Amino acid sequence: MAEKPDPKAWQSEAVWYQIFPERFRNGDPSNDPTRESLGGRQWAPPSWRPRAWTSDWYARDAWEQARGDNFYWHGVGERRYGGDIQGIIDKLDYLKDLGINAVYLNPVFWSGSHHKYDASSFQHIDPWFGPDPDGDLAMMEGETEDPATWKWTSADKLFLEMIKQAHARGIRVIIDGVFNHAGLGHFAFVDLREKQQDSRYRDWFAVESWDDPATPGNEFSWAGWHGIKDLPEFAEVWIDGHGDLVPPVKNYLMAITRRWMAPDGDVTRGVDGWRLDVAWMVPEGFWRDWNALVHSINPAAITVTEIWKDAHKVTLGGHFDSTMNYEGFAMPVKGWLFDTALTPSAFAAWLDRTRGTWPEATARKLQNLLDSHDTPRAASAAMDGRPGKNYVKPEEFDLAVAASVLPRHNPDYRWQKPDERAWKLLRMAGLLQMTYVGAPFIYYGSEVGMWGANDPDCRKPMVWDDLDYDPEFMGPDGRRVGPNAVKFDGNLHAFFRAAIALRRNTPVLASGDMRWVAKDDAANTLAFLRTDGAARALVVFNRSELPQTVRMALPDGWPDAALPAAFVSDGGAAVARRMDGELLVELAPLTGAVFLP
């Protein structure tokens, strides 16, 4: 009897692309955010308006200048550029042509912020992501936590249309689930704040004290994520020997999970999985039941934790499929390729240590990222890299602390447009993503030459080839320092397109075993072999600033004739030659190459 196909096989074959919806593409200018859409942010002056998509990032509009003279504290957080669901639909063909077959969307649910990690509702797509914000707001009035009261707004329907069109192109879609907290505008918290202990939602949030109506002050207080009151945390409870979210919140989150995974009961119209924000801050008991629900609705669905340190306990204990591989990929890659704090042998040891702690099937699904909305852009990390700057000991690992990632914290931060050396390093890192064990993960715009420090500078509007962008003349301190030309880098885009094609057309890179075959700390070179039966791929890197000859033991069955590289990161040529029982590869500086014997 033939074996049944594995519904999760796609997860190790995925090439991921992260989309920050507000900054990806403005497909429908008629729905651009209004001041009212900011969710009660009273500090936005009446002169507030959406920001021009192609404007100089560090330059400031008049309304921002009116708030103060600090770029980071006075305005940038309240910028809106008008990215929306229609913009994603319009660029699905771009993603397909790039070779992407899976996308992860930062939060799309209704929220007043640009990042939308402070949801006002989990049952609705943000009205300003859809075609009729005012109509959607009117339609949502009177809804409660009861799914029977929920309607399908125009934004909801457009989001489902986006999923349909993505699926038609062979692209799966997962969305961000923020189940630790909500926003001040969440319908349950609004009711709780108004009615206090008389609210039907009195048990939903971690209330620290109630208001005493007999006093002139307001004593109402609640726990916020990391102490941030704008992000009220859901209440937890101890049930059957393990932690969980309180039943009414759990029931609500289970209901919205069904809604988006199987709209009106049709799983083919729903999302293909979830990325779970701050997963370690939600009780394991909830995750076990929630993951069981997700996988019962769609056995092919993927669930991914966001955990920056050791992700094993929550990921495996909560029955997740994967994690964003910060600890096992992003940080060591920066430590070796970007700032040389790690030698090749130390880098290989770090990867072995972290990969070896996962079940083999899980290791092949780990999302191998270089950057995200919470880190500096990879090209900027490469530009700013200096020995030891981005590295800490593995046991002290914290991506946010490990790099000096913002000009406001580090006046020496090199925030300017990366130089050619940094782009070479980015190409090496991109090739490593496509050839190492795990699923490659690209943050929007990395493939076209975007740069920037940590949040908010890593959240610039996407650079498209049909738009003309103002050069970056201004620096973060307000001084005129440019110009730094901002434009779609066609050569870099072609590199990523070809590297993704290499990954997708070479099955051994997704399914093969992996072993190191060269680690030369003195020459700063490294090589590994991917194998699956007779299929093989040899991947060789020269991190040195000088040309190097990489030597390794001759793999069994290697062809006698000199073999040209199938792919070289800098676009040049490389050849593997047999000599005296060894295999030799000559590589230019800051170059990686792949050989397919």
Give the contacts of 314 (CB within 8 A, at least 6 positions apart).
279, 280, 284, 287, 305, 307, 320
Which of 259, 24, 32 minimizes the C-alpha distance to 129? Answer: 32
Q: In Å, how far are 117, 398, 420 from 387, measured between CA atoms?
A: 35, 17, 18
Q: Which long-range contacts (CB under 8 A, 24 or more apart) does 263-271 make?
A: 263/152, 263/160, 267/297, 267/298, 268/167, 269/160, 269/163, 269/164, 270/163, 270/297, 270/298, 271/163, 271/173, 271/174, 271/175, 271/301
Q: What is the strand order of the sheet 172-177 is part of?
A: 322-323, 302-305, 273-276, 172-177, 102-105, 16-19, 439-443, 367-369
Tokens of 98: 């790039």
Residues 6+ apart with CB under 8 A from 584: 549, 550, 551, 576, 577, 578
How far is residue 253's CA from residue 256's CA, in Å, rounded to a whole number? 5
Q: Nearest-CA neighbor of 298 among 3, 1, 10, 2?
A: 10
> What's the rounded Cα separation, in Å, for the pair 152 and 166?
20
Question: Which letter, b or e, does each residue of 228-252 get, where b requires 16 or more Cβ atoms within 10 Å of its Cβ?
Answer: eebbbbbbbeeeeeeebbbebbbeb
SS (HEC) of 270-326: CCCEEEECCHHHCCHHHHHHHHHHHHHHCCCCEEEECCCCCCHHHHHHCCCCEEECH
Contact yes or no for 345/521 (Cβ under 8 A): yes
Q: Who contacts 121 (Cβ-Cβ below 8 Å, separation ≥6)?
A: 109, 110, 140, 143, 186, 187
* Separation between Cα atoms, residue 383 and residue 345, nearest integer Å: 23
Q: What is the CA radius of gyration of the chain?
A: 25
Rounded-to-integer distance, Cα 313 and Cα 295, Å: 20
- Reduce the DSSP state of residue 336 to 3 states and report it: helix
Length of the chain, in residues: 597
**Contact assessment for residue 531 and residue 565, using Cβ atoms and an 8 Å cutoff:** no
Task: Show which residues are catalytic.
Answer: 277, 306
Q: Which helix or strand (DSSP H or E) is residue 15 part of?
A: none
Contact of 320 with 364, CB cutoff 8 Å: no
Alpha helices for 506-558 (secondary structure H): 508-511
Give the tokens for residue 194: 């108004």
